[in-house]
């Protein structure tokens, strides 16, 4: 990872976490839905990032969110789980010519449809793990399913808005 990408990712990390903690954690639609933008940091990390570093960054991101939300590791666990599955998701969605380590995982690099598939799959996995651990039962599976679907869609829309508003085409 070059110095410019390293600095960009540090900036993204702090900006996304500040936005999540200060703004988004205070937004609850109907008392059920909170957008979880912090997963975007893991989604946008470079493809060639070592897996151990990806897992550590996921843990740090998740535990910071847990500290500010007074949750006991559910965000850290769900983000580590997603980070662990990320290489498999990238392999499944791999373009014909593979990934270019100089390109970021953004719509302009691999296409809008590819980015939606990739980001939504990551978000959906994250959300189902997060909500299941939070509920820790299938007692109210209909509410769990409803929260998972709506929150995944809401988070994905927010991610797309942020990506298209902040990333310039290269």
Q: pLDDT tens, 114-164?
A: 999 999 999 999 999 998 898 877 677 888 888 899 999 999 999 999 999
pTM higher than the cut 0.75? yes
- What's the number of domains the chain is made of? 1
* Backbone dihedral region for residue 99 (phi beyond 0: left; psi -120 to 50: alpha; all else: beta): beta
Q: How many CB atoms lie within 10 A of CB 65?
A: 22
**Cα three-residue angle 111-116-118, rounded to 5 degrees:** 95
Asked whether the beta carbons of 81 and 130 are under 8 A apart, the reply is no
- Res. 109 pLDDT band, cuts 50 70 90: confident
Rounded CA gap, 33 and 92, in Å? 29
User: Helix, strand or coil for residue 71?
Assistant: coil
Instruction: Read off the pLDDT of each residue in 75-90 and give the average, rounded to a whole number.
Output: 97
Domain membership of residue 98 as a residue range: 3-166
What tokens does 143 get? 């509410």
Rounded CA gap, 169 and 15, in Å? 20
Q: How many CB atoms lie within 10 A of CB 84?
A: 13
């Amino acid at each position: 990872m070059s110095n410019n990408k390293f600095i960009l990712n540090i900036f993204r990390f702090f900006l996304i976490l500040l936005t999540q903690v200060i703004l988004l954690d205070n937004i609850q639609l109907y008392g059920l839905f909170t957008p979880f933008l912090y997963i975007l940091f893991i989604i946008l990390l470079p493809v060639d990032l070592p897996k151990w570093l990806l897992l550590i960054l996921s843990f740090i991101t998740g535990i910071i969110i847990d500290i500010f939300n007074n949750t006991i590791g559910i965000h850290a666990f769900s983000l580590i789980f997603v980070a662990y599955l990320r290489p498999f998701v990238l392999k499944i969605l791999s373009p014909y010519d593979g990934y270019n380590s100089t390109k970021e995982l953004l719509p302009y690099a691999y296409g809008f449809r590819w980015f939606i598939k990739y980001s939504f799959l990551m978000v959906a996995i994250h959300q189902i793990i997060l909500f299941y651990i939070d509920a820790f039962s299938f007692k109210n599976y209909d509410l769990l399913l409803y929260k998972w679907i709506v929150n995944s869609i809401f988070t994905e829309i927010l991610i797309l808005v942020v990506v298209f508003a902040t990333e310039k085409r290269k």
